[in-house]
Amino acid sequence: FIYLFNSNITLGKNGVPVAENFQLEQSTIADTVQVGQVRVKTLYLSVDPYMRCRMNEDTGSDYLRPWQLSEVADGGGIGVVEESQHHNLAKGDFVTSFTWPWQTAAILDGDSLQKLEPQLVNGRLSYFLGAAGITGLTALLGIREKGHVAAGANQTMVVSGAAGACGSLAGQIGRLEGCSRVVGIAGTDEKCSILVQEMGFDAAINYKKGDVAKQLRELCPGGVDVYFDNVGGDISDTVISQMNQNSHIILCGQISQYNKDVPYPPPLPPDIEKIQKERNITRERFLVLNYMDKQEASVLQLCQWIQEGKLKVRETVVEGLANIGAAFQSMMNGGNIGKQIVSI
């Protein structure tokens, strides 16, 4: 089975993605595996907010290629090698790629695949798409490269989209790296209680209830030193207005803006931009792909924290390729807690 990005519903630049943007088709793959190739069986696929940008003719970024109509969609994936004509890969090896086709089996170029060591994540292979993959790297390197977190500096960190794949890791990593107080912002009471009870956040705010600015003032009496921004929009404006002099924004994602035709990162409203400039708050776009020289050491650090139980991992797993469109739609609407994974 293959999953195509199709044209039966045209999104336009401001559309909200729905499952019907995709269609499942039956297909065959070639009988023979050429030299340098491997035949793989797909085990897990990842759906992520950035994929919404790939549904536009112009993705708004130079590193993302738009999905083409009637072409197989692709993204982060994990599978097992079933037949190999590649010198470095053998039958039974677990492999991953950022450009894994959304199909149940495939013939892929062996050089495009990375071999995985399941013991690094206690056998939880899907973690390589999240906590021990690009999501974990985004959280860890974002904090290390843009957060200026220092142990013993008594810093307060706020994380928006805190119950999502990246946010739930970012808060925990902020604490592991030295923040003395971590506050999350999420969209349901269930998410907020998981952040505090399971993930070790000091507090969490349900932004759909009550006055966010008032709750932030109460929970961050010393102001905000580091803000891990996964959402943009009104929530971020509220947080920025309570940030301290010389504080730092880690600009990870702007999911509240993804269905709108605005530049990335979207400009701040004039009153918020004035605060940012007056208080010398850094707000730089963070792109994890620019730090791939640090990938190996960072993944090992993430795996060590997972093995030691210091980094708690949540996943929302949907079964079956047929449900990947629905999983994507749900994730864009905040239906997931932790990483949204599709098990094939």
Structural domains of the chain, with CATH? 2-130+314-343 (3.90.180.10), 134-289 (3.40.50.720)
More confident residue, 38 or 325: 38
What size, in residues, is the chain? 344
Q: What is the mean pLDDT of residues 142-167?
A: 96
Q: What is the mean pLDDT of residues 75-98?
A: 97
pLDDT at 262 over 80: no
Residues 6+ apart with CB under 8 A from 320: 342, 343, 344
Of 226, 259, 209, 258, nearest to 160 by C-alpha is 226
pLDDT at 329 over 50: yes
State how beta strands 2-5 and 71-72 pair: antiparallel
Q: What is the mean pLDDT of residues 87-113?
A: 96
Residues 6+ apart with CB under 8 A from 141: 286, 288, 291, 294, 298
DSSP symbol at 164: B
Of 248, 226, 257, nearest to 332 by C-alpha is 257
Degrees, nearest 5: CA angle 166-291-242: 50
pLDDT at 179 over 50: yes
Quickly tell me which residue has 């030295």 as its tokens. 178
Q: In 10 A of CB 271, how many CB atoms?
A: 10
Q: What is the pLDDT of residue 1?
A: 65
Q: What totals of helices (H) and strands (E) does the chain contain, helices first?
A: 8, 16
User: pTM of the prediction?
Assistant: 0.90
Helical axes 212-219 vs 233-240, angle rounded to 10°: 40
pLDDT in tens, 184-240: 999 999 999 999 999 999 999 999 998 999 999 999 999 999 999 999 899 999 999
Q: What is the pLDDT of residue 12?
A: 47
183: amino acid identity, one letter: V
Lowest mean pLDDT among 70-79, 101-110, 235-244: 70-79
Of 247, 252, 234, nearest to 169 by C-alpha is 252
Q: What is the pLDDT of residue 57?
A: 76
Burial tier of 238 (Cβ tally within 10 Å: 0-12, 13-18, 19+): buried
Lowest mean pLDDT among 13-17, 37-41, 78-82, 280-284: 13-17
* Distance from C-alpha of 204 to C-alpha of 194, rounded to nearest angstrom: 9
Q: What is the pLDDT of residue 7?
A: 39
Q: What is the mean pLDDT of residues 141-152?
A: 95
* Distance from C-alpha of 310 to C-alpha of 170, rounded to nearest angstrom: 13
More confident residue, 287 or 7: 287
Q: What is the pLDDT of residue 270?
A: 97
Residue 280 zone, left/alpha/beta (φ > 0; ψ -120 to 50; rest): left
More confident residue, 30 or 113: 113
Phi first, then psi, for residue 66 (nearest 5°) are: -65, 145
pLDDT at 8 over 50: no
* Distance from C-alpha of 299 to C-alpha of 296, rounded to nearest angstrom: 5
pLDDT in tens, 23-67: 888 888 888 999 999 999 999 999 988 887 788 777 677 777 888
pLDDT at 332 over 90: no
DSSP symbol at 145: I
- For residue 242, give the 3-state DSSP assignment: coil
Lowest mean pLDDT among 97-106, 274-283, 297-306: 97-106
The first and second tokens of residue 235, run together, are 């929530």
Q: What is the mean pLDDT of residues 243-258?
A: 82
Q: What is the pLDDT of residue 263?
A: 58
Q: What is the pLDDT of residue 29?
A: 85
Q: What is the pLDDT of residue 10?
A: 42
The first and second tokens of residue 336, run together, are 């997931």
